[in-house]
Structure 1
Amino acid sequence: MASNRPAPEAPFVPTQRETETGGHGDFRTGDGVFEGPSSGPFDGPFTGASDGPFEEWNPTADSLRPVRGRHRVAKQRGGLARSSTVLGVGVIAAVGAGGMASAQTGKAPVSISLPDLPNVGSLISDDEEGDRAAEATAAPLSTVGVATAEGEQGTTAGEALRARIMAQAEQQQDQVASKAAAQAAAAAAKKAAADAAEAEKAAAAKAAAAKKKAAAQAAKKAEAARLAALAEQYALPTSSYTLTSTFGQAGPYWSSGYHTGLDFAAPTGTLIKAVHSGTITEAGWAGAYGYRTILTLDDGTEIWYCHMSSISVSVGQKVSTGDIIGRVGATGNVTGAHLHMEVHPDGADSGVDPLAWLRGKGLTP
């Protein structure tokens, strides 16, 4: 530990024996041996009588002159706190150089070296002269664990730890990147599969729609072909006509309260044709219907021709499509010349709409 230089030694103090004898006696200056009346030889160099006699001297604070200058001890103010602060700064610097690495790796603690610091007194001197003197005569405060090899070993351990941490960080980053890439690939594959499924579903729906449309077109074509074939087998009941009253039309003119057939208005004498091949099952007067002819088709459907002016066939006669069976007239309950036609499937009393029935046979009235 640092210390101030020693103060000058105090003047020589005679022993009690020498005091009792008064300290007087002969002495030889040749060999420096003092002989007194009641004492033996006393070793000590003397140059003459000016060095004695001596009295007992007890130094006090008043008798000692304070040492000035370089050897003066400066008044300390908070020396412990300041020295602790300086020491703490040194310790922190040493720890930053590699101490923490050894502590984290679990190895033996690394010795720390502190630089030589000025003595505490010089740091807190009362005057600038004392501070300069203290700085000039500064002595090392302390040295803690000077070990260069171990310090280098701690630095190497810290670098190794840092390298290992960086390697682990890079490995973790690589793992995170790999995981993110795998997740992205999985998401892309999932999206691609979903898109493919959606596209397949859309294609299937489109194909189904196309198939349905094609089937509808095919059915329409087939129906058109069937109707065309039927049209060759069926014919309209007359020509040069105008449709007036339709099936189901209400009015006071009909006893049932509504119209039960379809009216083809045409001049009297206009030819009436068989709509399809069949057999004449009735021909004659029918009251409000006037002259009426009933044609029964091969499937049992009855076609009624009413208000005829003349009948050209007889009961039981076979006719074919387009054969003449009579002429348009105004007989029975009528307001003008026209053909009243009714359709009764299977000979039923109630009929169906003749217009729809004719269209179902491929005809357009």
Structure 2
Amino acid sequence: MASNPPAPEAPYAPAQPSTETFGYGGYRTDEGPWEEWNPTAESIRPVRGKHRVAKQRGGGFARSSTVLGVGVIAAVSAGGMASANTGKAPVSISMPDLPGVGSLISEDEPAPEAAPALASFGSEAAVDTDTDTDADQSVADAGEALRSRIMAQAESQKTQVEVKAAAAAAKAKADAVVKAEKEAEAKAAAAKKKAAEEAAAKVEAARLAELAKQYTLPTSSYTITSTFGQAGSLWSSGYHTGLDFAAPTGTLIKAVHTGTITEAGWAGAYGYRTILTLDDGTEIWFCHQSSISVSVGQKVATGDVIGRVGATGNVTGAHLHLEVHANGSADGIDPAAWLRSKGLNP
């Protein structure tokens, strides 16, 4: 470094009291007079190591101390931020002696602990780094916990769905079994009912077959021309009261069952009529006969001839008008149904 040439010496003049002092506390005799300082290369050479400065007496910091304090804080802050940002170990900062600073720190008093402050910044940075690591770990743990909770919830929902599906399948299977059992029972009942009906029909057929041996149709070679209950103006009651067997005149009329002749003769609109009363009290009327072959009180058996087909009385042609009166009632019943009940099909 180049040195400055020495400045010419100025005449000595005693220092005058000044109202502006370094410590803001009034004029001090030990603070002047000052000689002019001409810096040289030797005087401005940086000194390394510990610096000892004159003790500051009096109260308060000077304006330069304020500036210095701001600089130190800025430097320390910058060092701390650098340590926090880079993550490296804190470094110490040394500063050269400055004129007028000696009054700030006394030899008798301990120096400000700048290094611990800087070290504390490094420690804080380290703590911040650890805190960040802990925060990252906490976030990771929270994320893992959330993931585990979501997976557990999904697994629970899946299990619930599987349980519901299994329950639905079991219910459907049970319903199918119940339905199959009901269908089987219904089929069995229907088969049983059908078998019973068939058995009953066989029994009835046997009974009717047996009855048919005891009963017979009243004539042969006939045609059914009018049935019971048929409406029309040809009949005085407004409807037909019997069953008409149209057959040629002279066709034989036979007793349908064993009984007694209770009437034989003319009967007005019925022409010649024969009444056969059976043992159970049922009356069989044979009307419009051309001739009568029996008399009242005569016993007849099934198939005996009692007269012949004719066209006497209120008729439009030759036929046998057959009526059935149960228990001698004045009102007749359907002769076709009665004949069928005896195993005969007119």
Q: 1:145 aligns with which of 125, 146, 151?
A: 125
Determine the structure 2 residue equivalent to 1:137: none
Q: Distance in 2 between matches of 1:153 and 1:252?
A: 119
- Partner SS for 2:178: helix
Counterparts in 2 of 1:354 and 1:165: CA distance versus 1, 3 Å: closer
Any conservation in 1 of the 2:258–2:279 contact (CA below 8 Å)? yes
Please tell me the residue identity of whatever aligns with 1:199: A
Unaligned runs of 5+ in 1: 1-7, 23-38, 47-82, 91-111, 118-141
CA RMSD of aligned residues (A): 4.3
Deviation at 1:223, TM superposition (A): 3.5
Any conservation in 2 of the 1:294–1:302 contact (CA below 8 Å)? yes
Any conservation in 2 of the 1:278–1:296 contact (CA below 8 Å)? yes
1:20 correspondence with 2:13? yes
1:175 correspondence with 2:168? no
Deviation at 1:364, TM superposition (A): 1.6
Please tell me the residue identity of whatever aligns with 2:125: G
Q: 2:265 aligns with which of 263, 266, 284?
A: 284
Deviation at 1:281, TM superposition (A): 1.4
Determine the structure 1 residue equivalent to 2:176: 195
- Partner SS for 1:114: helix
- Partner SS for 1:20: coil
Q: Distance in 1 between matches of 2:308 and 2:285?
A: 14
Unaligned runs of 5+ in 2: 16-32, 41-77, 89-120
Please show how residues 1-365 of structure 1 align to structure 2 within 5 Å. Answer: 19-20=12-13, 113-115=84-86, 144-146=124-126, 150=130, 154=134, 164-365=145-346
- Partner SS for 1:346: helix
Any conservation in 2 of the 1:292–1:308 contact (CA below 8 Å)? yes
Counterparts in 2 of 1:352 and 1:164: CA distance versus 1, 3 Å: closer
Determine the structure 2 residue equivalent to 1:134: none
- Partner SS for 1:267: coil
TM-score (norm. length: structure 2): 0.58
Q: Deviation digits for residues 274-332 of structure 1, max 9, x if unmatched? A: 11121221223333333321111122110011222333323222222212222223333
- Partner SS for 2:324: strand
TM-score (norm. length: structure 1): 0.56
Q: Distance in 2 between matches of 1:347 and 1:9?
A: 172
Deviation at 1:146, TM superposition (A): 1.9
Q: Distance in 1 between matches of 2:176 and 2:278?
A: 61
Q: Distance in 1 between matches of 2:337 and 2:301?
A: 22
Equivalent residues, number: 254
- Partner SS for 2:125: coil
Please tell me the residue identity of whatever aligns with 1:146: A
Deviation at 1:261, TM superposition (A): 2.0
Any conservation in 1 of the 2:324–2:332 contact (CA below 8 Å)? yes
Counterparts in 2 of 1:300 and 1:15: CA distance versus 1, 3 Å: farther
Please tell me the residue identity of whatever aligns with 2:284: I
Counterparts in 2 of 1:44 and 1:244: CA distance versus 1, 3 Å: closer
Counterparts in 2 of 1:191 and 1:10: CA distance versus 1, 3 Å: farther
Q: Distance in 1 between matches of 2:6 and 2:202?
A: 152
Q: Distance in 2 between matches of 1:311 and 1:43?
A: 187
Counterparts in 2 of 1:336 and 1:180: CA distance versus 1, 3 Å: closer
Query: Higher mean Cα deviation, 299-308 or 162-171?
Result: 162-171
Any conservation in 1 of the 2:84–2:129 contact (CA below 8 Å)? no
Q: Between the two proteins, what is the percent identity of the paired residues?
A: 60
Query: Higher mean Cα deviation, 173-182 or 213-222?
Result: 213-222
Determine the structure 2 residue equivalent to 1:53: none
Please tell me the residue identity of whatever aligns with 2:86: P
Any conservation in 2 of the 1:113–1:147 contact (CA below 8 Å)? no
Q: Distance in 2 between matches of 1:305 and 1:181?
A: 84
Q: Distance in 1 between matches of 2:5 and 2:184?
A: 124
- Partner SS for 2:173: helix
Query: Higher mean Cα deviation, 142-151 or 231-240?
Result: 142-151
Query: Higher mean Cα deviation, 265-274 or 245-254?
Result: 245-254
